[in-house]
Structure 1
């Protein structure tokens, strides 16, 4: 079984803004970025799941027409009270308290990285139990957490894993073992 973890294309938002659950549109580069991904997808049928946020559902529709299901567990980290705030405006004390233990510290009104990991792993286990080739059109946090799971990497070290906008990672699952075949394709 192969799993394609597809990160949404560049969002239409000013750099330095905190966002996760916010339903952002895509940047003007969408068609170029999406076409590049489409060329990399296999010709075989895939079962497709996408985050319901428009930056993912638009990409899923471009790549797979209406042949996908949305699932809220594929959303990005919920930054709660910090959503749509400038990182610089949050204050160094608030940011430092979170960064000191970002895996388990919940953002005010939001969730922790461990929360995102738990919901990502929940849908991943459901998907792998079905033993069909799958594409997940989702966000960096979800992809990073699934790559950490696949590579048996502690969550504290998983921020070193990067999948850029409009890129994908590929996983191979066999006999319950998960192998990373590629990143940033």
Structure 2
């Protein structure tokens, strides 16, 4: 079984803004980025899943002309009260408290990275049970958490796994064991 994880293309938002659950549109470079992703897409029969946020669902629809399943568990981290704020507008102490334990600390009115990991892995385990090839369009945090699981990387170190916009990672599942074939291609 193969699972491809594809990060959405560049979002239409200025840098330095905290966003996760916010439904940000795609940047003007979308068509060019779609062509680059399309050139790397696997061929064959795949079930297709996407985060319902438009920066993912637009890419999925642009690349696959078939049934696409939107699943909330594929959304980026919920940054709660921090959504759409400039990072430097968030209180220094509040931000530092979260940064000191971002794996378990919840963002105010949001979630922790561990909660994102749990919901992401719940879906992955369901897909492994189905034993069908899958392509998943999702976000950097979700992809990092799944790659952390597949590489036995502690979540606290998973941000060392760089995941760029419009890049593909491939997982191979054999006997229920998830291995990384490549990432960020």
Q: TM-score normalized by structure 1?
A: 0.98
The reply to whether residue 176 of structure 1 matches residue 149 of structure 2 is no
Aligned-partner SS, 1:144 = helix
**Structure 1 runs not aligned, ≥5 long:** none
Aligned-partner SS, 1:159 = helix
Over residues 130-185 of structure 1, what are the superposed CA-to-partner deviations in whole Å (9 max), with x where a residue is unaligned? 11110000000100000000001111111101110010111001011111111111
Q: Using the alignment, how far apart are the partners of 2:137 and 2:30 within structure 1?
A: 14
> In angstroms, what is the RMSD of aligned CA positions?
0.7
Aligned-partner SS, 2:107 = coil
Equivalent residue, structure 1, for 2:20: 20
Equivalent residue, structure 1, for 2:53: 53
The reply to whether residue 105 of structure 1 matches residue 95 of structure 2 is no
Equivalent residue, structure 2, for 1:29: 29
Q: Using the alignment, how far apart are the partners of 1:65 and 1:36 within structure 2?
A: 17
Choose 96-105 or 66-75, whichever is displaced more: 66-75
Over residues 90-142 of structure 1, what are the superposed CA-to-partner deviations in whole Å (9 max), with x where a residue is unaligned? 02111100000000000000000000000000000000111111000000010
Equivalent residue, structure 1, for 2:62: 62
Q: Using the alignment, how far apart are the partners of 1:66 and 1:16 within structure 2?
A: 36
- Alignment of structure 1 residues 81-100 onto 2, 5 Å: 81-100=81-100
Residue 67 of structure 1 deviates from its aligned partner by 2.3
Residue 43 of structure 1 deviates from its aligned partner by 1.8
Residue 66 of structure 1 deviates from its aligned partner by 4.4
Residue 65 of structure 1 deviates from its aligned partner by 2.6
Aligned-partner SS, 2:173 = strand
Show structure 1 runs of 4+ deviating over 3 A: none
Paired residue total: 185
Equivalent residue, structure 2, for 1:43: 43
Equivalent residue, structure 2, for 1:133: 133
**Structure 2 runs not aligned, ≥5 long:** none
Equivalent residue, structure 1, for 2:120: 120
Q: Using the alignment, how far apart are the partners of 1:66 and 1:10 within structure 2?
A: 24
